[in-house]
Amino acid sequence: MDRRHFLATIALTSACSAKRLRVPTPLQSYRLPRVHVSNDRIIRTVVGLRPFRPSGFVVKTEVLEGKTIVHNYGHGGGGVTLSWGTAHLAVELALPTGATRMAVLGAGAVGLATARLLQEHGVQVTIYAKDLPPDTTSNIAGAQWFPVSVYDRDRATPAFLSQFVEAARFAYRRYQLMVGEYYGIRWMPNYSMSRQPFSDGGLGGSQSSIADLMPELRDLAPGDHPFPFPYVRQFDTMFIQPSIYLESMLREFRIAGGTILIHELRDLREVLALPQSVIVNCTGLGAKALFNDQELIPIKGQLTVLLPQPEIEYATEPPGLYMFPRRDGILLGGTHERGNWDVQPNREAEARIIAGHAAVFRDMRA
């Protein structure tokens, strides 16, 4: 499920009809300041490669040459969102081995959450990672809490969807315990926009099972919002600022006695040579080469960041675009290039994203 399909079909199968969802709100309650979008406000454009599998992420156990490998990778655009949830699934597979010392491969959001949960169960953890924050893919994430770009609907099995729902619910609860400045997590209203009525067909059977994870989901009448679209849907969710969150996670891991070794594992032979008998694989795209996962592909995502505007306390998702405000800048996104390994910014995409957002906020009612 990618962000575009999510935003196009944000009504859930178990949700009410559009008429029943709508809660009229006076326009004066929506005095939202405009985002100032212009080329001279750009401070950086960054590219990240999402580790995507059409059939969904992998959480499973594999035994190789006496080592227990617990896989936890392939989250697509939902790595930060689902990290605590799939970490929970992976830990449930690792603990029955009885090992008191385990290795975690990778120090992004998934690896750090997995390591912290293992520590909470009394395991002594060593992280092996090629890069640490701020040089991980997780640092480039937009990090809106909602599991999008995680799988293709026609490839997901019932077994996977069950894992997906369990992971989403666990992660949703865990992040709520971490809201605040220390972890860089806050709640924020979102405004999804469309030129066509939102479909009440929903996001599919699995997504209807997490309808309650979108509090205050409602349709707004044209007079109830300032945006230049006839159909606007509001919902609330959490936003995670990776630069703060990942550093805090690293700090907590070290305080709990964890060890970090900067070491690039180049092949399976080097993985199996590690001293720990239980290894949790959180390598993201690295699993393609290390474990020969031919289904794993990159989805190139690009973010253009504008100067910060502290007064912006809402997020927007016009068709094919999204704006997320953070303390370190205004994130403008709108790319989803499947199979593209190029980590250089696409300047044509950057121009399209800037122009699209500029038009939305130019036409927004004051």
Q: What is the pTM of this model?
A: 0.89
Domain range enclosing 250 = 1-33+53-294
* pLDDT tens-digit map of 251-303: 999 999 999 999 999 999 999 999 999 999 999 999 999 999 999 999 999 99
Residue 155 pLDDT greater than 50, yes or no: yes
Residues 13/210, Cβ–Cβ less than 8 Å: no
In 3D space, the residue among 206, 113, 212, 117 whose CA is nearest the CA of residue 164 turns out to be: 206
pLDDT at 200: 59
Most distant CA atoms of the chain, gap in Å:
66
User: Is 361 domain-assigned?
Assistant: no
pLDDT at residue 202 in the model: 43
Distance from C-alpha of 191 to C-alpha of 171, rounded to nearest angstrom:
23
Q: Does 307 map to a domain?
A: no
pLDDT digits (tens, 9 = 90+) for 37-66: 999 999 999 999 999 999 999 999 999 999
Is residue 201's pLDDT more than 60? no
pLDDT, the chain, mean: 89
Q: Which two tokens stand for residue 366?
A: 């004051």
pLDDT score of 286 = 95
Which pLDDT belongs to residue 341? Answer: 95
What was the pLDDT predicted at 20? 36
Looking at residue 2, what is its pLDDT? 52
pLDDT for 323-364, tens place per residue?
Answer: 999 999 999 999 999 999 999 999 999 999 999 999 999 999
For residue 302, tell me if it sits in a domain.
Answer: no
Say what the alpha-carbon torsion angle 321, 325, 330, 332 is, to the nearest 10 degrees.
Answer: -10
**What pLDDT does 206 receive?**
31
**Cα–Cα–Cα angle for 48, 52, 58, rounded to 5 degrees:** 130
Sorting pLDDT into bands at 50, 70 and 90, what band is 208? Answer: low
* Distance of alpha carbon 54 from alpha carbon 360, whole angstroms: 32
By DSSP bridging, strand 315-317 and strand 297-306 are unpaired
Tell me the pLDDT tens digit for each residue of 4-44: 444 444 433 333 333 334 444 444 445 899 999 999 999 99
What local confidence, expressed as pLDDT, does residue 212 receive? 85
C-alpha angle 242-87-209 in degrees, rounded to nearest 5: 95
- The amino acid that residue 279 corresponds to is I
Say if 148 falls within a structural domain.
Answer: yes
Q: What are phi and psi of 163, to 5 degrees?
A: -60, -45
Percent of the chain at pLDDT exceeding 90: 80
C-alpha 88/C-alpha 91 separation (Å) is 5
CB 70 within 8 A of CB 283: no
Q: Which residues contact 4 (CB under 8 A, 6 or more apart)?
A: 319, 320, 336
Give the separation between CA 8 and CA 145, rounded to whole angstroms: 17
Closest to 139 in 3D by CA, of 239, 254, 48: 48
| Structural domain total, the chain | 1
29-60 in b/e form (b: 16+ CB < 10 A) is ebebebbebeeebbeebebbbbbbbbebbbbe
Question: Is residue 25 situated within a structural domain?
Answer: yes
